[in-house]
Amino acid sequence: MSNRESNTVYSRIAGTGGYLPERILTNQELEAMVDTSDEWITSRTGIQQRHIAADNEFTLDLAEHASRQAISNAGLQTSDIDLIVVATTTPDQVFPSTACLLQSRLDIHGCPAFDVQAVCTGFVYAFSVADKFIRTGTSRCALVVGAETFSRIIDWTDRNTCVLFGDGAGAVVIQAHDAPGVYSTHLHADGDYASLLHVPSGVSNNLAAVQEGRAYVEMSGTEVFKMAVNTLGRIVDETLEANQMTRDDVDWLVPHQANLRIINAIAKKLNLPMEKVILTVAQQGNTSAASIPLALHEGITNGNIQRGETVMIEGFGGGFTWGSALLRY
Protein backbone atom coordinates (compact mmCIF):
# COMPACT_ATOMS: atom_id res chain seq x y z
CA MET A 1 0.00 0.00 0.00
CA SER A 2 1.47 3.41 -0.88
CA ASN A 3 1.68 6.25 1.64
CA ARG A 4 -1.17 8.02 -0.13
CA GLU A 5 -3.53 5.07 0.19
CA SER A 6 -2.84 4.49 3.89
CA ASN A 7 -4.44 6.39 6.74
CA THR A 8 -1.03 7.44 8.02
CA VAL A 9 -0.77 11.04 9.15
CA TYR A 10 2.29 13.06 8.15
CA SER A 11 3.37 16.57 8.96
CA ARG A 12 3.96 19.05 6.17
CA ILE A 13 5.42 22.56 6.15
CA ALA A 14 2.60 25.10 5.77
CA GLY A 15 4.58 28.33 6.21
CA THR A 16 7.90 29.80 7.33
CA GLY A 17 9.07 33.09 8.84
CA GLY A 18 12.33 34.73 9.80
CA TYR A 19 13.59 37.74 11.68
CA LEU A 20 17.02 39.33 12.02
CA PRO A 21 17.82 42.28 14.30
CA GLU A 22 18.51 45.56 12.52
CA ARG A 23 22.08 46.05 13.78
CA ILE A 24 24.74 44.48 11.55
CA LEU A 25 28.24 43.80 12.89
CA THR A 26 30.79 43.45 10.08
CA ASN A 27 34.14 41.67 10.05
CA GLN A 28 35.78 45.08 9.65
CA GLU A 29 34.20 46.25 12.91
CA LEU A 30 35.47 43.09 14.64
CA GLU A 31 39.00 43.93 13.47
CA ALA A 32 38.81 46.94 15.80
CA MET A 33 37.57 44.80 18.72
CA VAL A 34 39.93 41.76 18.72
CA ASP A 35 43.13 40.60 17.02
CA THR A 36 41.55 39.26 13.83
CA SER A 37 41.10 40.12 10.16
CA ASP A 38 38.33 40.05 7.61
CA GLU A 39 40.58 37.78 5.52
CA TRP A 40 40.98 35.23 8.39
CA ILE A 41 37.25 35.15 9.22
CA THR A 42 36.13 34.93 5.57
CA SER A 43 38.64 32.26 4.53
CA ARG A 44 38.15 30.06 7.65
CA THR A 45 34.38 30.40 8.04
CA GLY A 46 32.73 32.17 5.07
CA ILE A 47 31.18 34.69 7.48
CA GLN A 48 31.16 38.37 6.42
CA GLN A 49 28.71 39.87 8.91
CA ARG A 50 26.19 38.96 11.60
CA HIS A 51 23.12 40.61 13.17
CA ILE A 52 23.14 41.63 16.84
CA ALA A 53 20.02 42.24 18.95
CA ALA A 54 19.53 45.73 20.39
CA ASP A 55 19.96 46.13 24.16
CA ASN A 56 16.18 46.18 24.65
CA GLU A 57 15.52 43.29 22.23
CA PHE A 58 15.29 39.73 23.55
CA THR A 59 14.94 36.17 22.22
CA LEU A 60 11.17 36.34 22.74
CA ASP A 61 10.90 39.48 20.57
CA LEU A 62 12.82 37.81 17.74
CA ALA A 63 10.70 34.65 18.09
CA GLU A 64 7.45 36.65 17.97
CA HIS A 65 8.38 38.41 14.69
CA ALA A 66 9.35 35.12 13.00
CA SER A 67 6.28 33.27 14.34
CA ARG A 68 3.74 35.87 13.20
CA GLN A 69 5.28 35.78 9.72
CA ALA A 70 5.25 31.96 9.56
CA ILE A 71 1.58 31.80 10.65
CA SER A 72 0.62 34.50 8.13
CA ASN A 73 2.61 32.82 5.31
CA ALA A 74 0.77 29.56 6.11
CA GLY A 75 -2.53 31.41 5.56
CA LEU A 76 -3.52 30.61 9.16
CA GLN A 77 -4.54 32.46 12.33
CA THR A 78 -2.75 32.22 15.68
CA SER A 79 -5.88 30.42 16.97
CA ASP A 80 -5.10 27.51 14.58
CA ILE A 81 -1.87 26.66 16.48
CA ASP A 82 -2.26 23.73 18.89
CA LEU A 83 1.41 23.12 19.82
CA ILE A 84 4.37 25.47 20.36
CA VAL A 85 7.95 24.19 20.56
CA VAL A 86 10.80 26.69 20.84
CA ALA A 87 14.45 25.69 20.43
CA THR A 88 16.73 28.08 22.27
CA THR A 89 19.88 28.15 24.37
CA THR A 90 19.36 31.80 25.24
CA PRO A 91 15.88 31.99 26.83
CA ASP A 92 14.71 35.35 28.21
CA GLN A 93 14.16 33.90 31.68
CA VAL A 94 15.03 30.75 33.68
CA PHE A 95 11.28 30.16 33.63
CA PRO A 96 8.64 30.28 32.26
CA SER A 97 9.88 28.76 29.02
CA THR A 98 10.24 31.03 26.01
CA ALA A 99 7.49 28.93 24.39
CA CYS A 100 5.03 29.88 27.16
CA LEU A 101 6.00 33.55 26.93
CA LEU A 102 5.57 33.35 23.15
CA GLN A 103 2.19 31.67 23.55
CA SER A 104 1.00 34.63 25.64
CA ARG A 105 2.39 37.18 23.14
CA LEU A 106 0.48 35.41 20.36
CA ASP A 107 -2.69 35.32 22.50
CA ILE A 108 -2.88 31.52 22.22
CA HIS A 109 -4.29 29.70 25.27
CA GLY A 110 -4.30 26.12 26.51
CA CYS A 111 -2.18 24.21 23.97
CA PRO A 112 1.12 22.62 25.09
CA ALA A 113 4.13 24.95 24.86
CA PHE A 114 7.68 24.06 25.84
CA ASP A 115 11.34 24.71 25.04
CA VAL A 116 13.91 22.27 23.68
CA GLN A 117 17.62 22.77 24.36
CA ALA A 118 20.09 21.16 21.97
CA VAL A 119 22.15 24.26 21.09
CA CYS A 120 22.82 24.43 17.31
CA THR A 121 20.86 21.20 16.73
CA GLY A 122 17.94 22.64 18.70
CA PHE A 123 15.69 23.31 15.72
CA VAL A 124 16.12 19.76 14.36
CA TYR A 125 15.21 18.40 17.82
CA ALA A 126 12.17 20.70 18.11
CA PHE A 127 11.05 19.87 14.56
CA SER A 128 11.38 16.13 15.24
CA VAL A 129 9.34 16.38 18.46
CA ALA A 130 6.60 18.41 16.78
CA ASP A 131 6.55 15.97 13.83
CA LYS A 132 5.94 13.11 16.29
CA PHE A 133 3.09 15.01 18.01
CA ILE A 134 1.45 15.36 14.58
CA ARG A 135 2.12 11.77 13.46
CA THR A 136 0.55 10.41 16.63
CA GLY A 137 -2.53 12.60 16.19
CA THR A 138 -1.85 14.62 19.36
CA SER A 139 -1.53 17.88 17.40
CA ARG A 140 -2.76 19.10 14.02
CA CYS A 141 -0.89 22.39 13.61
CA ALA A 142 2.45 23.10 15.32
CA LEU A 143 4.55 26.24 15.54
CA VAL A 144 8.25 25.29 15.69
CA VAL A 145 10.70 28.10 16.40
CA GLY A 146 14.48 28.45 16.64
CA ALA A 147 15.36 31.74 18.33
CA GLU A 148 18.61 32.98 19.84
CA THR A 149 20.38 36.03 21.21
CA PHE A 150 23.72 34.21 21.23
CA SER A 151 25.52 37.57 21.42
CA ARG A 152 24.57 37.59 25.13
CA ILE A 153 26.69 34.49 25.92
CA ILE A 154 29.73 35.53 23.86
CA ASP A 155 32.93 36.91 25.34
CA TRP A 156 33.51 39.80 22.95
CA THR A 157 37.23 39.80 23.80
CA ASP A 158 37.67 36.12 22.70
CA ARG A 159 38.58 35.99 19.01
CA ASN A 160 38.12 32.19 18.96
CA THR A 161 34.36 32.54 19.36
CA CYS A 162 33.15 36.13 18.92
CA VAL A 163 33.66 36.19 15.15
CA LEU A 164 31.38 33.16 14.63
CA PHE A 165 27.97 33.89 16.13
CA GLY A 166 24.95 36.13 15.51
CA ASP A 167 21.34 36.66 16.66
CA GLY A 168 18.08 35.80 14.88
CA ALA A 169 14.91 33.72 14.81
CA GLY A 170 13.25 31.40 12.32
CA ALA A 171 9.83 29.76 12.56
CA VAL A 172 8.02 26.98 10.73
CA VAL A 173 4.34 25.98 10.91
CA ILE A 174 3.76 22.27 10.26
CA GLN A 175 0.32 20.79 9.72
CA ALA A 176 -1.16 17.31 9.56
CA HIS A 177 -1.37 16.01 5.99
CA ASP A 178 -2.26 12.71 4.32
CA ALA A 179 1.08 12.45 2.45
CA PRO A 180 4.70 13.37 3.31
CA GLY A 181 5.70 16.03 4.30
CA VAL A 182 8.33 14.86 6.65
CA TYR A 183 9.72 11.45 5.69
CA SER A 184 11.93 10.95 8.74
CA THR A 185 13.91 12.71 11.43
CA HIS A 186 17.12 11.47 13.08
CA LEU A 187 18.45 12.68 16.44
CA HIS A 188 21.70 11.86 18.24
CA ALA A 189 23.78 13.06 21.18
CA ASP A 190 26.99 12.16 23.01
CA GLY A 191 27.49 14.02 26.28
CA ASP A 192 31.07 12.79 26.62
CA TYR A 193 32.07 15.68 24.37
CA ALA A 194 30.40 18.36 26.53
CA SER A 195 33.61 20.21 27.42
CA LEU A 196 34.66 20.80 23.78
CA LEU A 197 31.82 23.28 23.25
CA HIS A 198 30.05 24.71 26.27
CA VAL A 199 29.14 27.57 28.58
CA PRO A 200 30.51 26.35 31.93
CA SER A 201 28.09 28.41 34.05
CA GLY A 202 24.36 27.86 34.41
CA VAL A 203 21.78 28.07 37.15
CA SER A 204 22.61 25.41 39.70
CA ASN A 205 26.41 25.82 39.52
CA ASN A 206 26.39 29.45 38.51
CA LEU A 207 28.42 31.09 41.23
CA ALA A 208 31.85 29.46 40.88
CA ALA A 209 31.90 29.66 37.09
CA VAL A 210 30.83 33.29 37.02
CA GLN A 211 33.41 34.20 39.68
CA GLU A 212 36.04 32.56 37.47
CA GLY A 213 34.75 34.68 34.57
CA ARG A 214 33.54 31.59 32.69
CA ALA A 215 30.00 32.64 31.78
CA TYR A 216 30.51 32.56 28.03
CA VAL A 217 30.85 30.11 25.13
CA GLU A 218 34.13 28.17 25.22
CA MET A 219 35.01 26.09 22.16
CA SER A 220 37.83 23.84 20.97
CA GLY A 221 37.18 24.91 17.40
CA THR A 222 39.37 22.46 15.50
CA GLU A 223 38.07 19.38 17.41
CA VAL A 224 34.46 20.54 16.94
CA PHE A 225 35.13 21.08 13.25
CA LYS A 226 36.48 17.54 12.70
CA MET A 227 33.68 15.91 14.69
CA ALA A 228 31.02 17.96 12.85
CA VAL A 229 32.29 16.89 9.41
CA ASN A 230 32.55 13.18 10.35
CA THR A 231 29.27 12.99 12.21
CA LEU A 232 27.24 14.90 9.63
CA GLY A 233 28.73 12.73 6.88
CA ARG A 234 27.41 9.64 8.69
CA ILE A 235 23.97 11.09 9.33
CA VAL A 236 23.53 11.87 5.63
CA ASP A 237 23.92 8.12 4.91
CA GLU A 238 21.64 7.15 7.80
CA THR A 239 18.90 9.51 6.58
CA LEU A 240 19.01 8.33 2.97
CA GLU A 241 19.13 4.64 3.96
CA ALA A 242 16.13 5.03 6.30
CA ASN A 243 14.07 6.22 3.33
CA GLN A 244 15.63 3.93 0.71
CA MET A 245 16.71 6.99 -1.21
CA THR A 246 19.97 7.90 -2.89
CA ARG A 247 21.90 11.16 -3.11
CA ASP A 248 20.20 11.84 -6.46
CA ASP A 249 16.80 12.07 -4.76
CA VAL A 250 17.80 15.14 -2.73
CA ASP A 251 16.98 18.48 -4.40
CA TRP A 252 18.12 20.84 -1.62
CA LEU A 253 20.40 20.81 1.41
CA VAL A 254 19.45 23.23 4.21
CA PRO A 255 22.35 22.89 6.66
CA HIS A 256 23.06 24.49 10.02
CA GLN A 257 25.15 27.53 9.14
CA ALA A 258 28.24 27.21 11.35
CA ASN A 259 31.04 27.27 8.84
CA LEU A 260 31.10 27.29 5.03
CA ARG A 261 33.85 24.64 5.00
CA ILE A 262 31.71 22.20 7.02
CA ILE A 263 28.78 22.87 4.66
CA ASN A 264 31.02 22.32 1.60
CA ALA A 265 32.08 18.92 2.98
CA ILE A 266 28.47 17.78 3.47
CA ALA A 267 27.40 19.04 0.04
CA LYS A 268 30.29 17.06 -1.47
CA LYS A 269 29.17 13.96 0.45
CA LEU A 270 25.68 14.41 -1.07
CA ASN A 271 27.17 15.11 -4.50
CA LEU A 272 25.14 18.32 -4.56
CA PRO A 273 26.48 21.41 -6.37
CA MET A 274 26.63 24.46 -4.05
CA GLU A 275 23.77 26.05 -6.04
CA LYS A 276 21.56 23.40 -4.42
CA VAL A 277 22.63 24.36 -0.89
CA ILE A 278 20.84 27.17 0.92
CA LEU A 279 23.53 29.47 2.33
CA THR A 280 23.01 32.30 4.81
CA VAL A 281 26.27 31.96 6.74
CA ALA A 282 27.99 34.88 4.98
CA GLN A 283 25.29 37.37 5.99
CA GLN A 284 24.10 35.90 9.29
CA GLY A 285 26.97 33.91 10.84
CA ASN A 286 26.05 31.06 13.20
CA THR A 287 22.68 31.86 14.82
CA SER A 288 22.61 28.46 16.60
CA ALA A 289 19.03 27.05 16.74
CA ALA A 290 17.76 29.83 14.46
CA SER A 291 20.04 29.11 11.52
CA ILE A 292 18.17 26.19 9.90
CA PRO A 293 14.66 27.72 9.99
CA LEU A 294 16.13 31.04 8.80
CA ALA A 295 17.80 29.28 5.87
CA LEU A 296 14.66 27.27 5.11
CA HIS A 297 12.64 30.50 5.12
CA GLU A 298 15.13 32.17 2.78
CA GLY A 299 15.20 29.20 0.40
CA ILE A 300 11.40 29.14 0.20
CA THR A 301 10.77 32.90 -0.01
CA ASN A 302 13.38 33.51 -2.71
CA GLY A 303 11.71 30.83 -4.83
CA ASN A 304 14.52 28.29 -4.80
CA ILE A 305 12.75 25.51 -2.87
CA GLN A 306 9.56 24.59 -4.73
CA ARG A 307 6.57 22.51 -3.58
CA GLY A 308 7.20 18.81 -4.24
CA GLU A 309 10.98 19.06 -3.94
CA THR A 310 12.98 16.95 -1.48
CA VAL A 311 14.93 18.79 1.21
CA MET A 312 17.48 17.52 3.72
CA ILE A 313 18.12 19.56 6.85
CA GLU A 314 21.01 18.80 9.21
CA GLY A 315 22.75 20.31 12.21
CA PHE A 316 25.52 19.77 14.74
CA GLY A 317 26.10 21.53 18.05
CA GLY A 318 27.00 21.57 21.70
CA GLY A 319 26.37 18.39 23.69
CA PHE A 320 27.51 17.12 21.26
CA THR A 321 24.13 16.88 19.55
CA TRP A 322 23.44 16.23 15.88
CA GLY A 323 20.39 15.53 13.78
CA SER A 324 18.72 15.59 10.39
CA ALA A 325 15.35 15.50 8.69
CA LEU A 326 14.31 14.55 5.18
CA LEU A 327 11.13 16.09 3.85
CA ARG A 328 9.12 16.86 0.77
CA TYR A 329 8.26 20.58 0.76
Identity of the residue, 224 or 253, whose beta carbon is nearer to ligand ACO in the bound complex: 224
Nearest-angstrom CA–CA distance, 28 and 39: 10
Identity of the residue, 58 or 320, whose beta carbon is nearer to ligand ACO in the bound complex: 320
CB 162 within 8 A of CB 155: yes
Task: Give me the sheet containing 310-317, strands edge to edge.
Answer: 182-189, 321-328, 310-317, 252-255
Catalytic one of 27, 256, 259, 297: 256
Closest separation between CB of residue 287 and ligand ACO, Å? 10
Nearest-angstrom CA–CA distance, 224 and 230: 10
Residues 208-267 that bind ligand ACO (CB under 6 A): 221-222, 224-225, 228, 258-259, 262
What would the x/- binding string for ligand ACO be over residues 76 to 115, using CB under 6 A?
A: ----------------------------------------
Among 163, 260, 281, 290, binds ligand ACO (CB under 6 A): 163
Q: How many residues does the chain have?
A: 329
Q: What three-state secondary structure class fits 199?
A: coil
User: Considering only 18-26, 240-248, 295-303, 316-324, which stretch makes contact with ligand ACO by CB under 6 A?
Assistant: 316-324
Nearest-angstrom CA–CA distance, 207 and 162: 23
Among 70, 102, 113, 120, binds ligand ACO (CB under 6 A): 120
The identity of residue 132, as a single letter, is: K
Catalytic status, residue 51: no
Asked whether position 286 contacts ligand ACO by CB under 6 A, the answer is: yes
Nearest-angstrom CA–CA distance, 50 and 45: 12
Residues 4-43 that bind ligand ACO (CB under 6 A): 36, 40-41
Closest separation between CB of residue 242 and ligand ACO, Å? 24
Burial of 107 (0-12, 13-18, 19+ CB in 10 A): exposed
Residues known to be catalytic: 120, 256, 286
